[in-house]
Amino acid sequence: MQASTRISELLGGGSDGWDVFYKARAMIAQGVPVTELTIGEHDIRTAAPILQDMHRAALAGHTGYAAVPGVPALRDAIAARVQARTGVPTRRENVLITPGGQAALYAAHFATCDPGDTALYLDPFYATYPGTIRGVSAKPVAVQTRAEDAFQPRAADIAAQAAGAKTLLINSPNNPTGVVYSRATLEGIAKVCQDHDLWLISDEVYDTQVWEGTHLSPRALPGMAERTMVVGSMSKSHAMTGSRCGWIVAPEAMVTHLINLATHTTYGVPGYIQDAATFALAQGPDFEEEVSAPFRRRRAIAHRVLAEQNTVALVPAQGAMYLMLDIRSTGMTSEAFAYGLLEAHHIAVMPGESFGAAAAGHLRVAMTIEDAAFETALRTLCDFAASCRSDA
């Protein structure tokens, strides 16, 4: 018996990009201490009041089947939050609750792409993007951004690939680069979507982690609300990664279709988790700032450390919990550098190639360990880079 082509070719015949991470975890399992700067997992846990509310909701009996579209209170809270942040009228009927942002990404592509359709995404990209597209039997096509543009996408490059495509997937603030797309960039993207009749799928899970500039949801641009699907999540904004509570904001007619999909796939999200998410959102922006504050501090640490050397360069770190480091001056591939750093100093980072060809010669560093340890690891990385230079 054989697996379906859809599932067996989910990775496109290659790696899923997490090989260095897997090696680091294997070393840890063998008792080797490793400093992990790999995945976007907060070093703080979900706040106790949120867990207490989740416990209260479970004890109160909200452990049975919850409404598949999401409990009304949570859908209303997300609609109000989105409307307040973007100025775009948003109602409960525009919101579907999903088991995390990843499920939302899959549902959005399932709802917009037929088998064989072309679905565009930007390179560098979060590692699951092409597999998500293949999972709905669509054809993933990457549009490369450029390091010399600080990875801001060029509308002309997207337009060159857009003929016959159905969707474009973007992510700002961006994982892995940390770049926040400018208004000019997003207006260019919006024009391409309108000119080529594309659905825009906008992954905005890092919208509370903006260090420079302003986050702009493309759904707020003229003519875009009717062709944009926004993916959000409690994972990054409220340190609720394991709770698996995300959402899609979309036109009402599309949400009706998405509810049908959820009925036949996930059958919703546990009610006590949704109640806790409603409670968490009610804590307001001050709480969200408290969750994001460690990454703001560590970004400042990184600026200070990197200013003291001339081997490793920093891509403008405008948002999200990551740094994109340019190590091209070492003459090494980022994969060789990452393996070398892991072997020599037991520090694990993600090679740029894990996120696409455009990120070759770069590393993604997650700012997800305690401040002093983060500074020490970053200094060690820079010293290692200097020792690797051919002119060293």
pLDDT band at 12 (very low <50, low <70, confident <90, very high): confident
Q: What is the pTM of this model?
A: 0.96
The percent of residues in the chain predicted with pLDDT above 70, rounded, is 99
Q: Crossing angle for the helix pair 284-306 and 371-388, nearest 10 degrees?
A: 30
Architecture of domain 64-283: 3-Layer(aba) Sandwich (3.40)
Assigned superfamily of 5-45+286-388? Aspartate Aminotransferase, domain 1 (3.90.1150.10)
- Nearest-CA neighbor of 176 among 331, 33, 334, 283? 334
**pLDDT confidence of residue 373:** 98
Q: What is the pLDDT of residues 63-115, one digit of tens each?
A: 999 999 999 999 999 999 999 999 999 999 999 999 999 999 999 999 999 99
**pLDDT confidence of residue 389:** 86
pLDDT of 120 > 90? The answer is: yes
Which residues, in sequence order, are CB contacts of 201 under 8 Å at separation 6+? 105, 108, 109, 112, 167, 168, 169, 170, 228, 229, 231
Strands 165-171 and 199-203: parallel
What stretch of H or E contains 231?
strand 228-233
**pLDDT confidence of residue 11:** 85
- Nearest-CA neighbor of 105 among 218, 250, 202? 202
pLDDT of 205 > 90? The answer is: yes
- Nearest-CA neighbor of 123 among 363, 319, 349, 359? 359
Residue with tokens 């982690």: 209
What stretch of H or E contains 58?
helix 48-59
Q: Crossing angle for the helix pair 100-112 and 252-263, nearest 10 degrees?
A: 110
Domain-by-domain residue ranges, the chain?
A: 5-45+286-388, 64-283
CB 232 within 8 A of CB 250: no
**pLDDT confidence of residue 18:** 84
